Every structure is written in structure tokens, then in C-alpha cells.
Copies of this chain bind each other. A is one copy, B any other.
Amino acid sequence: MSDRVLTHLLGERAGFLDRLSDFVAYPSVSADTTYADGMDAAQQWLMRRLSALGFGNVDLLSAGGQSAVAAEWIGAPGAPTILVYGHYDVQPPDPMEKWDSPPFSLTERGSRLYARGVSDDKAPSLIAIETLGAFLAVEGQLPVNVKFLFEGEEEIGSASLRGILEKYRAELDADAMLSADGARWRPDLPTLATSCRGNAGFEFSVRTAAKDLHSGRYGGVVPNALHVMATLIASLYQPDGRIAVADFFDGVKDPTPEQRSILAEIPFDENATAQALEAVPVGEPGFTWLERNWLRPSLDVNGMWGGYTGLGSKTVIPNEAFTKITMRLVPGQDPDACVVAVYKHLQAHCPASATLTFGAKRGSSRAYSLLDNHPLLLAAEETLRSTTGRLPLRVGIGATLPVASIMAETLGIETVMFSYSTADEDYHAPNEFFRLSSIDEGFTGWDDLLRRLGQQSPDTYIPFRRKRSPINLGSSS
């Protein structure tokens, strides 16, 4: 192969690992303000690297929340303009004690790199940055116009991303978005995700007395906030696993026979997958694993706590209990309406002996579905076919990339998820990792795709541009 850009990239692998090591060392945890310094440091590092590679207009874009990092190169008149997306924020490292190596220190073991955020989304983002930078270094130009947007709130529901896109609509305008986030489904099969579920979430608490009470002095006569909380959580599900919340399924369509048959043809071993997780599959009766995960909504308690949780025992009747809850939504569901439905359910089931309080609401996002014949999707399919030798399967994502629906609603453009992370890389759990082999795969894929897009006319994208929605920072119509 005479691709000098790719040769340059593959020769620079040690340098890439050094830079990735620097990037993951900044604890850019957006969920917890005690990591504010880590967020700042990751932003600054990213801006320095983008400048060093020759990109212009390197800047912080803010709409009240965590700033996004932007940069661009727009020297390819007549070629499409591609918005390249990633995120520099990461999940919290807790529980710290379950990590086999420090979460913010890049550690190579076997054929894997371990660190918080290495898979979601620092290595995939950096692969995109370095590949595009290599074009500038080797060829002095890029095949397409590129705008970068790295957000800092992906892990907390992209609360102010919509505001950023509205505020910087002109600066970020593009023909389509190519996302370095949105993991590949699995390592053994080339796939392209054409849909993802939406999400919503909130915290709530119950209170049953002015203070914790002694379990001897008051046991049997006053309510216990943890008993109430347990009853409320249990009430959210029917015994068969179906979500029991009235109105939650409003707008949800049953899968069509076509959808079901497409999913049934995807090679997938439910039992082997469950065994690897040491989990017994559960869920809504009448659906397969893939149907449940890609086409049906879910509702999960992410954290619950109350009373004494330290060592030993403390004989209190807790007066407060707390829960964090999130849901994954499918087309037809409105995130705000779903939050209201769950909350109304909790209110209806809360006994008179407890006070229910609605706490912080997460940023939310509708489900997203990409149009079948979008030119960026077709190009990405060709790239994967060419670089892997196999036609990629079109699959769904059970998780949420809020950016896709927000982009469609604000900039009116579609998103193709083209990350080189893989969904088994424990990216919301301890010992998050990234496969070493994905680095070269990523360089190769981005190089190939950029060259293909350089052959397209921007006009190809016009029929796929959506009418932008009016500015709306809350729900969307």
C-alpha cells in the first residue's frame, strides 16, 4: 500500500500511546465536581494537541455546563464538511477498590490497555484526531472539510450540548456527523449501528421522620424509609419482569415481523453472552435478547442507599432513603413524558407515611434512528467492507448517544457512529479497557473513510438534511 498517511500513523504508534497515556491521566469525571481540575486539564490537553497538529479555531464552546472543545480545517472547497464528534469526559472510577491498576494510569496488560475512559471515549477520539492530523502532516491537507466537537457532558446526559449547538450553529454547520463514540457491537463481526435508545433519569428520595430513630425504641411503631423505598422500587416491575409503570409504553410500537426477522438472522448466542457475564438473562416476556436490548425500553435503578452503610452494625430506623434511576427509551417515547410517568407511579405507590421528593433530573435524549441510504452510512459500510473483507451488519445500540438525536434536531444532520471501541470493554465499570489491535484498525478505517468522503459531493447530503427544530433546551416536540 502506498498510503503515506497510514504508513506515517503506523510508524508513530509509540507516540500515539504516549499521548493516550497523557490524555487518560486527567481524571475528567463530569459527574462529580470534585474532579473539576481533571476536566480542565483534559480540555487544555486536547486544545494543545489539536493546535499542534495544525487545526485552526481551537476553542472552548460553552452554554452553561461543561465546555466542549472545538477545532476545524476547512480548506477543501467542493468537498463535504464533516463534523467529527467525540467526548473527553469519563465515567466516575468508583468502586475504586475493584480496579486491578490505577484507573487514571494507562496500563498495558496482555493485548489490552486499561484506564478509565480509554475505551469511552479517549482512545477512539484520539484515533480520529491523529489520523486527521496525519493527513495534514503528510499531505498538507485533508480530503474533506472537518470540524471537531469534543463534548464534556456525554457521561451525564449531554445536558448543555443542545445549548452549545444552538449557540454555535453557524460555526458547527456541516453536511453530516461522524462520531468517534458509539462502540462497535462486538469484536468478531464488523457492524454499523444505525439506531440507539434514548434515555432519561432522575433521583428521588423518601422521608419518613425528622431524623433516624432507634430501632428498639421505635421498632414496630414508625415507618422505615428503606422499607418504603424497597416497596416503591419493587412496584416498578411486574413479577414477570415487565415494567409496571402506567403510560410508560405510550408510543412504543411492537417490532414488525421484518425487524424481528432481521434481528433473528444476526449470529448471537444469548446463553454464551449471559454465561460470560455470570448472569441469568431476564426481561420482558415474549422478546429475544436483541429485541429487548435494541427495540424495547428498559428501566434500571443505578444506585440506592440509606441508613447505616459503614462497618459493623448500627441499629437505626433510617428516616431517608435515596435512589438514582435511569431508563432507556425507544422511538415513540418522549423522555420527559416517561420521567413523569415513572414519577406519577412512585407518587401513586408511596404510602401516606412517607414523603416523596423528586431530586436531580439527568439530561435526557430521544431514541435515534439513521436513514437507510444516508451517504455517510453507505461510505462507512464500504470502508468496513474494504478494510475487514466482510460486509458489516447493521445493528442497534441499546445504549444512548444523545448527540445523534440532538444533532438532528439542532443542526439538522444525521450521525454515523464510527468508533473503534468495542462494547465489551467495561466502559462503565471497573477495569475499563481498549484493545491494542483497535488502534491500527482505527487508523486504517478513518484513513479509508476520509478518502472515500473526499470523492463525494456536498450535494449528495442535501436531501438528507432535516428541518431544524426550534431552540428547546428541555424536551423536544
**Chain A residues at the B interface, C-beta cutoff of 8 Å:** 30-34, 91-92, 94, 98, 155-157, 196-197, 199, 201, 203, 208-224, 226-227, 229-237, 274, 277-284, 289, 292-293, 296-319, 321-322, 324, 326, 328, 351-353, 360, 362, 397-400, 423, 426-430
Contacts and interface: CB of A to CB of B under 8 A. Distances in A.
A280 B352 contact: yes
Contact of A293 (B155, B219, B322, B428): B219
A234 B237 contact: no
B302 A223 contact: no
Given A209-B278, A221-B293, 11 more contacts: A201-B313, A213-B277, A215-B298, A215-B302, A217-B399, A226-B233, A227-B300, A230-B304, A280-B352, A280-B353, A303-B314
Contacts of A315: 199, 201, 300, 302, 326, 428
Residue of A196, A221, A278, A400 with most chain B CB atoms under a 10 A cut-off:
A221
A129 B313 CA distance: 28
B353 A314 contact: no
Contact of A282 (B221, B232, B299): B221
A229 to B, nearest CB: 7
Contacts of A214: 399, 423, 427-429
A302 B308 CA distance: 6
A117 to B, nearest CB: 13
B328 A298 contact: no
Would you call the interface of chain A mostly helix, strand, loop, or mixed? loop
21 contacts: A92-B312, A196-B216, A199-B315, A208-B279, A209-B277, A209-B279, A211-B429, A212-B429, A215-B302, A220-B283, A221-B292, A227-B300, A227-B301, A230-B230, A230-B304, A301-B318, A302-B314, A302-B317, A303-B309, A312-B360, A316-B429
B302 A305 contact: no
A397 B216 contact: yes
Residue of A210, A231, A324 with most chain B CB atoms under a 10 A cut-off:
A324
Nearest to A157: B313
A313 B156 contact: yes
A311 B32 contact: yes
Given A214-B429, A282-B221, A92 B293 contact: no
Contacts of A328: 215-216, 219-220
Contacts of A30: 312
A313 B307 contact: no
Given A219-B398, A353-B282, A302 B313 contact: yes
A307 B91 CA distance: 13
Contact of A428 (B201, B231, B314): B314
Residue of A226, A279, A328 with most chain B CB atoms under a 10 A cut-off:
A279
B308 A306 contact: no
B306 A303 contact: yes
B300 A305 contact: no
A322 to B, nearest CB: 8
A328 B429 CA distance: 39
Contact of A310 (B32, B212, B307, B352): B32
Contacts of A203: 313
Residue of A223, A274, A312 with most chain B CB atoms under a 10 A cut-off:
A312
Nearest to A317: B300
A277 B326 contact: no
B230 A311 contact: no
Contacts of A360: 312-313
10 tightest A-B CB contacts, nearest first: A216-B399, A31-B312, A219-B298, A220-B298, A230-B233, A303-B307, A210-B278, A280-B353, A209-B279, A234-B234
Contacts of A229: 230, 304
A192 to B, nearest CB: 17
